[in-house]
Amino acid sequence: MEINNEQLKKLFDLAGLDAVAEEANSDDINKALILIERKFVSMSPNDVMTVPAEFNILIVDDLELSIYQFNQLLKKVGIVPTVARNKIEALAELKKKKFDYIVVDLFLPDATDGLELIEECIKLREAKRTNKIIVMSGTDDKDLIEKCYKLGIDEFVPKSSNWHDQILKFITSSLTSKQHEDFFKYSINDNICCYTINKFNSQKHIDLLIKDVTTSLYTGFTNIIFNMENVKIFDDEYTTVFTTLYKMCKEKGGQFMLVKISESVRAALTDAFLDTLIPIYNSVDLAVSKLEG
């Protein structure tokens, strides 16, 4: 879609960017979009919930808008990445520390740089200096994509409108089967995540749960099921947690459901009028069937 000069002027005014519409280029537009997004982020700090960083991540990309957008998404789930804008900067960062994940834009600005960087990353992985290598690109060249896999990359993500979400989902996928002392979570499908709750009796447990659910929501699991069969005694001071989780899922267009709750949990929900908002089922299978039906 073409943007006329009048629209560009309004865009620059909203961003507070000193640029002339008639002389604007793509870099000016990207800068304006970044400035506007920063304004919205600063206006709604309560929307940002974080989890403890699980990984060291290196992003290698030469497009500022892509870097900024992915950076913001990672920060929302508590991951602060390292950024390099070319092969030389990336290699310098790789000498400083070990990275669990390296996200490489194949064209830096051409595929030669990207492929050479991938080869270096593979060598470092063999020396146990790196772990997973993810390549992103807008190319549909099957031979080039196949070459990346033959070099040894772990994932290729097309640079489409939701590429940030796809990479984040791949990065955090190892958590979906991770056993915690407090809970065990696993994915039912691409948008349903189930938590078997083992502990629900301290603020520490609650904070960990909310943070982990936040990660699940930001990686596409908009429907969250809590299996409460192991929680026999419930302190009603934690009832507001269910309100928080209900709102979080609703804001993402999904549902928060409870399964196999005890009488103490049911009484607390009734007292807070939450039993009319939060669906309660006798089994995970029944809850899943309601979501998929």
Residues facing residue 227 across a β-bridge:
196, 259
Q: Are 7 and 29 in contact (CB under 8 A)?
A: no
Q: What is the pLDDT at residue 132?
A: 85
Which CATH code is given to the segment(s) 47-173?
3.40.50.2300
Q: What is the pLDDT at residue 209?
A: 86
Beta-carbon neighbour count of residue 50 at 10 Å? 14
What value does the CA radius of gyration of the chain take, rounded to a whole number of Å?
22
Nearest alpha carbon to residue 205 among 185, 187, 228, 180? 180
Helix (H, G, I), strand (E, B) or coil at 40: helix
114-157 pLDDT, tens per residue?
899 999 988 888 777 667 899 998 888 888 988 998 898 988 98
Q: What is the pLDDT at residue 35?
A: 65
Q: Are 121 and 93 in contact (CB under 8 A)?
A: no
**Per-residue tens of pLDDT for the chain, all 293 residues:** 456 777 777 777 767 778 887 888 777 777 776 666 555 444 333 333 333 445 688 999 988 888 888 887 777 666 778 999 999 999 999 988 888 889 999 988 777 888 999 999 888 887 776 678 999 988 888 889 889 988 989 889 888 777 877 787 777 665 444 445 678 887 888 889 999 898 887 888 888 888 889 888 887 899 999 999 988 878 888 899 999 999 999 999 999 999 999 998 999 999 888 988 999 999 999 999 999 87
Domain residue spans in the chain?
47-173, 177-292
Please give the class, per CATH, of domain 177-292.
alpha beta
73-125 pLDDT, tens per residue?
777 666 778 999 999 999 999 988 888 889 999 988 777 888 999 999 888 88
Q: What is the pLDDT at residue 244?
A: 92
Identical topology for domains 47-173 and 177-292 = no
